[in-house]
Structure 1
Amino acid sequence: MNELISPKYQMKLVKSVETAIWEEYKTYREVKLYIDKWYQSDEYNNNWENFRIAQKSNNEIDLLQTLHNMDGQLILKVAIDIGVETPDFIPSIPTFRNEIKSEVKTAYDTFTKAFKQIETDPGIAIGLANSALESIIKEILKDKRLKTKVTGNETLYRLSCIIIKEFNLNNSENPKEIKTIGNSLITVCQAIETLRSEKTDFHGKTEDDYLIKDSIYAYFVLNAVSTVGLFLNTFYKTKFPKEIVLIDEEVDDLPF
């Protein structure tokens, strides 16, 4: 992962992380306590340390220099933990989270948890992202104007088949390219579901089973979930706008 993070991006990310840390923790003592939780060392291994904590002349922590002393992978983990967006790795996340924050609270909370687990537990991140996308589709299908009603036990694959049909994206009258894209969305959802079920700890596994441990795959899946979720939510709001309820106010024609 470290080689994927360019020095230029690290410079920009460090500055954002520094700002976010000072906004969260107001004193040097609190900042130092937070940074200490990321620090690791081993005096029996040539005094190895994962990064050097820099200090100013007054012995207070030099946060900016300390963050620059971290490698790219660690600074990315800190960024995710402190809530700094990482658009170079998940381009759609800021837009996606803002889109669903007020409309699908359950999906927003689940996706936020997924985002924070990317580096520490990629498998959990993928499983939570799957659940977030399920929540979005279920919320859309609550609309009474849509014919198909769900029981609540449908998998992501089944939900994607239903929503594509409801949105008429696989209609025979559509251009074949549109039908292809619609079917591709179903394929993406099926792949995400399969990864969750077969390649993560969400279902019981044995020692011989392959488990996703590389965070780059979690980034890939969360990007896919963000893209699909944004499209479905935008398509729904465009084709099924909220109905405006008109209040019939009684008109009084009397002059007094």
Structure 2
Amino acid sequence: MKDLVSPKYQMKLVKEVEKAIWEEFETYKNVKNYINKWHEVDDRGYWENFQIIEKDNNKIDLNSTINSMSGELMLKVAIDLGVETPDFIPSIPTFKNSLKSEFKTAYDTFSKSNKLIETDPSTAIGLANSALESIIKEILKDSRLNSQIKGNETLYKLSQIILKEFNFKTESPKEIKTIGNSLISASQAIEKLRSEKTNFHGKTDDDFLINDTIYAYFIVNTVTTIGLFIKKFYLTKYPKENIKIDTSNSENDLPF
């Protein structure tokens, strides 16, 4: 990932990370304590992952300190602070903003997923799956839709139901139907990864777990693409002013 974060983007990110740290921790003492959590030094002091630079008054020079970080580490700090990284993860800011007002449970779950991409890729994938499940369940509560769900449907089944509700595979050109089938296949693959390759359902020492962030970025971006399409198609076909959704039990939609 280090080589993927361009110097130009790093310079932009420095300003946003610096601002977010001051807003979150406010005092020099708290800011320095936070930075120290990221600081690593070997036993002999010959190596450190970045420099903590101080001013003449012994207060941290935050801008210079952040600039001494690698692009990879800076990106991790940005994600930890909730700083949006649209140049690196293109769809995520758009997706989060589209969920915030209407799909609160999905928004909270997806935000957790985004924050854990770097530190816990396995859990990030599981939460992304849960967020997409939550979006579809909320939509299917609309009284204008015919399908009834029990509440325990998996992402694969929910994707089949929602596309059937949209008449997506009967009203669309052949090529769009093919993409619809691919969308269902992608949902099934995400669900299988969550069930079989993450720690959401309990694993033994011999089981394979996804721990590479590149896969987490790929899956989370895939979820944003599917989620944005489903939400946009729904709001186009069923205009917002006529929405009747029962959200009284939305907090019970998550399987944890």
2:28 matched to 1:21? no
Cα offset, 1:215, TM superposition = 0.7
Q: Which residue identity does 2:199 align to in structure 1?
A: D
| Deviation sequence 1:31-68 (CA, Å, 0-9, x none) | 11111111122224x53222110111221111011111
Residue 134 (structure 1) aligns with: 133
**Which secondary structure does the structure 2 equivalent of 1:170 belong to?**
helix
Map 1:73-84; keep pairs closer than 5 Å: 73-84=72-83
Q: Which residue identity does 1:196 align to in structure 2?
A: R
Cα offset, 1:210, TM superposition = 2.1
2:110 matched to 1:111? yes
Conservation of the 8 A alpha-carbon contact between 1:104 and 1:136: yes
Q: Which residue identity does 1:187 align to in structure 2?
A: S
Cα offset, 1:107, TM superposition = 0.3
Residue 99 (structure 1) aligns with: 98
Cα offset, 1:27, TM superposition = 1.9
Cα offset, 1:205, TM superposition = 2.2
Q: Which residue identity does 2:30 align to in structure 1?
A: E
Structure number with the higher helix fraction is 2
2:207 matched to 1:209? yes
Residue 177 (structure 2) aligns with: 179
Identity %: 69
Cα offset, 1:109, TM superposition = 0.4
Residue 121 (structure 1) aligns with: 120
Cα offset, 1:155, TM superposition = 0.3
| Deviation sequence 1:155-213 (CA, Å, 0-9, x none) | 00000000011111111x53101101111111111111111111111123233322111
Residue 236 (structure 1) aligns with: 234
Residue 226 (structure 1) aligns with: 224
| Deviation sequence 1:116-143 (CA, Å, 0-9, x none) | 1000000000000000000000000001
**Which secondary structure does the structure 2 equivalent of 1:152 belong to?**
coil
Q: Which residue identity does 1:64 align to in structure 2?
A: N
* Paired residues, number: 243
CA RMSD across the alignment: 1.5
Alpha-carbon distance in structure 1 between the residues aligned to 2:213 and 2:173: 37
Q: Which residue identity does 1:16 align to in structure 2?
A: E
**Which secondary structure does the structure 1 equivalent of 2:200 belong to?**
coil
Alpha-carbon distance in structure 2 between the residues aligned to 1:10 and 1:160: 38
Conservation of the 8 A alpha-carbon contact between 1:126 and 1:218: yes
Alpha-carbon distance in structure 2 between the residues aligned to 1:72 and 1:89: 11
Residue 250 (structure 1) aligns with: none
Alpha-carbon distance in structure 1 between the residues aligned to 2:116 and 2:168: 33
Conservation of the 8 A alpha-carbon contact between 1:89 and 1:219: no
Give the TM-score, by structure 2 length. Answer: 0.91
Alpha-carbon distance in structure 2 between the residues aligned to 1:89 and 1:195: 23
Alpha-carbon distance in structure 2 between the residues aligned to 1:112 and 1:244: 28
**Which secondary structure does the structure 1 equivalent of 2:168 belong to?**
coil
| Deviation sequence 1:66-108 (CA, Å, 0-9, x none) | 1111112211111011111011222111111111111011000
Residue 65 (structure 1) aligns with: 64
Q: Which residue identity does 1:97 align to in structure 2?
A: K
Map 1:147-158; keep pairs closer than 5 Å: 147-158=146-157
Alpha-carbon distance in structure 2 between the residues aligned to 1:182 and 1:66: 48
Q: Which residue identity does 2:156 align to in structure 1?
A: Y
Q: Which residue identity does 2:240 align to in structure 1?
A: K
Q: Which residue identity does 1:190 align to in structure 2?
A: Q
In the alignment, structure 1 segments of 5+ residues that lack a partner are 246-256
**Which secondary structure does the structure 1 equivalent of 2:201 belong to?**
coil
When Rg is computed on C-alpha atoms for both structures, the one with the higher figure is 1
Residue 196 (structure 2) aligns with: 198
